[in-house]
Structure 1
C-alpha cells in the first residue's frame, strides 16, 4: 500500500511523513523526488529543457510506479510518499499504474490556509534560500487551480494550526479508518498486443461522446479490451453496458480498424471503432458511470475532441467520422488509411 501525501509546495508533507513513520509499524519513506533527481542527472539538458517540470516527463511517471513496485517487493509497507501531484492526468497515470500492479493507494491532501502556508514557505526560505521561496510561491496558482479535483479525490486534513506530530497523528487515524482509499479500476497491464473495441455515440449536433477514465490520462471513447473468445462487436456491446449503463439493441456497425504499432513500453495491437448511432435525450438520462473506472462523460465537437484526445485517438476519430459519412469501413495502420 502507498500513503500519498499531497498538497502545495511548502505544506509540510515531508516533515509530516517523517513523523508518520513512527506511528505506522513497518512503514517506509518513499520520496518520488529522488526519481526526479535521478532523471535530471541521467537525461541530457536538451530533453530537460523541453518540459517545465520533471513530472511532465513520461519516464518520471513510469519510474514512480516501477520504483514503488520494486520497493514493496523488498519491504512490508506501507510506503509513505510525500509529493505534490497537482496535474490530474499525472495522478490518473500514476495511481492507475499502481492499481494495475495491485497496489492500493490512500490519498491525503494536507490543506493549509494561505496565511499559514506563506509563513511556512518563508521559514523554508530561511533554510534553503530565495530559490526555494520563489519555487514554492510560483506554484501556488497551480495548487489553487487543482483544489477542486484534489478535494474531491483525496481525504483532506486541515493542518494550518497543527504541529507536524499532530498532523501525523491525524493522518495515522485516517489511514486506520481507510480514508482516502482510491477506488480505481485495476486493469492488468498488457503483456502483448491487444485487441480493443470502442463505440462512438453522437448527439443532435453530431458531437461525439467521450469519457474521462480515472486510471489513465486523457479522454477516451467508451470501450475496452476484447476478452479471449469474444467477438469485437460483442465486446463493444458489453463495454458500453458496463461503462455507460446503456444497452445496445444490436451489434453496432464497424467504422474503422486501426493497427497500432508497438512503441515501448506500449505493445500496440488492433483498435476498432463502431458506430453506436445517435443518443436521444431520454437515453442520455440513462447514462450511469462506474465511479472506479470513469469520472465524467461529455459530448465534444471535432475541434474540442482534438484538445481532449491523444493524437492517435484523434486520428482514429477523424477517419471514423469520414467512414460514417461515406457509409463504409476503413482500414488504418498507425492512424493512416491503407488502400484509400
Structure 2
C-alpha cells in the first residue's frame, strides 16, 4: 500500500511522514525526490531545460511507479510518500500506474491556509536554500488552483496548530477508519499489441461524448480493450454499458481502423472507432459513471475535443468524423489514412 501525503511546500509532509513511520509497523519512507535527483544527474542539461520541474518528465512519473513496485517486492510496506502533486493528470498517471500493479493508494492532503504557508516558507530563509524558498512561494498559486480537485480526491487534514506528531496521529487515525482510499479499477499493463474498440456518441448538436478516466491523464472515448474471442463491435457496446450504463444496438457501424505503432512502454496495436449515433434526451439523463474508473463526461465540439484529447486520439476523432460524413470507414496507420 502507498500512503501519499500531498500538499503545498511548507505543509509539513516530510516531517509528518517521518513521525508516521513510528505509528505504522513495517512502514518505510519513500521519497520520489530521490528519483528526480537521479534524473537530474543523468539526463542531458538540454532536456532538463525543457521543463520547469522534474515532475513534468514522463520518465519521472514512470520511475516513481516502477520504484514503488520494486520496493514493495522487497518489503511489506506500506510506503509513505511525502510528495506534492498539483496536476490532476499527473495524479491519474501515477495512481493509475500503481493500480495496474495491484498497489492500493491512500491519498491525504495536508492543508494549511496560504497566510500560514507563507509564514512557514519565509521562516526557512535562514536554514534552507533560498531557491527552494522562492520555488515554494511560486507554487502557492498553483496549489490554490488545484484545491478543488485535491479536496475532492484526497482526505484533507488541516495541519494548522499541529505538531508533526499530531499530524501523523491524525493520518494514522484516518487510515484506521479506511479514509483516503482511492479505488481505481485497472488491469495490468499489456505486454503485447492490443485491440481496442471505442464508441462515438453524439447529442442533437453533433457534439461528441468524451469521458475523463481516473487512472490516466487526458480524456477518452468510451471504450476499452477487446477481450479474447470477443467481436470488436460487441466489445464497444459492452464498454458503453459498463462505463455509461447505456444499452446500444449490438452492431454499430465501423468508422475507422487505426494501427498505433509501439511507443515504449506502450505496445501499440489496432484501435477501432464505431458510430453509436445520437443519444436521445432520455439516454443522456440515464448516464451513470463508475466512480472507480471515470470522473466525468461531457459533450464537446471538435475544437473543444482538441484541447482534451491526446494528439493521436484527436487524429482518430477527426478522421472518424470525416468517415461518418462520407458514409465509409477509413483505414489509418498512426492516425494517417492509407489506401483509397
The 5 Å alignment of 1:3-42 reads 3-42=3-42
Equivalent runs, 1:1-340 vs 2, <5 Å: 1-340=1-340
* 1-structure distance, mates of 2:36, 2:133: 20
Q: What value does the CA root-mean-square deviation take over the aligned residues?
A: 0.8
CA distance in 2, matches of 1:217, 1:246: 24
Measured after TM superposition, the shift of residue 238 of structure 1 is 0.4
* Residue segments in structure 1 that go unaligned for 5+ positions in a row: none
CA contact (8 A) 2:234 2:250 kept: no
The 1-side partners of 2:129 and 2:34 are apart by 20
Q: Taking structure 1 as the reference length, what is the TM-score of the superposition? A: 0.99
Work out the CA distance in 1 between the residues paired with 2:231 and 2:73: 38
Counterpart secondary structure, 1:139: helix
**Distance in 1, Cα, partners of 2:238 & 2:132:** 52
**Contact 1:200-1:274 within 8 A present in 2 as well:** yes
Runs of 4+ more than 6 Å apart = none
Q: Is the 8 A contact 2:17 2:80 kept in 1?
A: yes
Q: Distance in 1 between matches of 2:75 and 2:307?
A: 41
Contact 1:213 1:219 in 2 (8 A): yes
3-state SS of paired residue (1:41): helix
Does the 8 Å CA contact 1:125/1:132 hold for their aligned counterparts? no
- Rounded to whole Å, the distance in 1 between the matches of 2:128 and 2:231 is 60
Within 2, Cα distance between the matches of 1:221 and 1:124?
47
For the residues of structure 2 that align with 1:114 and 1:333, how far apart are their CA atoms?
50
SS in 2 for 1:74: coil
CA offset digits 1:228-279 (Å, max 9, x no partner)? 0100011011000000001003321100000001111110000000000011
Supply the distance in 1 between the matched residues of 2:222 and 2:280 (Cα, whole angstroms). Answer: 17
1:181-212: CA deviations, max 9, x gaps? 00111221101100000000111211110000
Distance 1:129 1:76 in 2: 35
Residue segments in structure 2 that go unaligned for 5+ positions in a row: none
Name the CA distance, whole Å, in 2 between partners of 1:85 and 1:115. Answer: 20
Return the alpha-carbon distance in structure 2 between the equivalents of residues 182 and 130 of structure 1: 35
* Alpha-carbon distance, 1:129 to partner: 3.5
SS in 1 for 2:125: helix
Superposed CA offset, 1:270-315 (max 9, x none) = 0000000011222100100000000000011111101100000000
What TM-score comes out, normalization by structure 2 length?
Answer: 0.99
Q: Which SS does the other structure have where 1:125 is aligned?
A: coil
In structure 1, distance between residues paired with 2:312 and 2:249 = 30
**Preserved CA contact (<8 Å) 2:237 2:249:** no
Tell me, yes or no, if the aligned pair for 1:124 and 1:132 is still in contact at 8 Å: no
Residue 325 of structure 1 and its aligned partner are, at CA, apart by 0.1
CA distance in structure 2 between the partners assigned to 1:238 and 1:62 by the alignment: 30
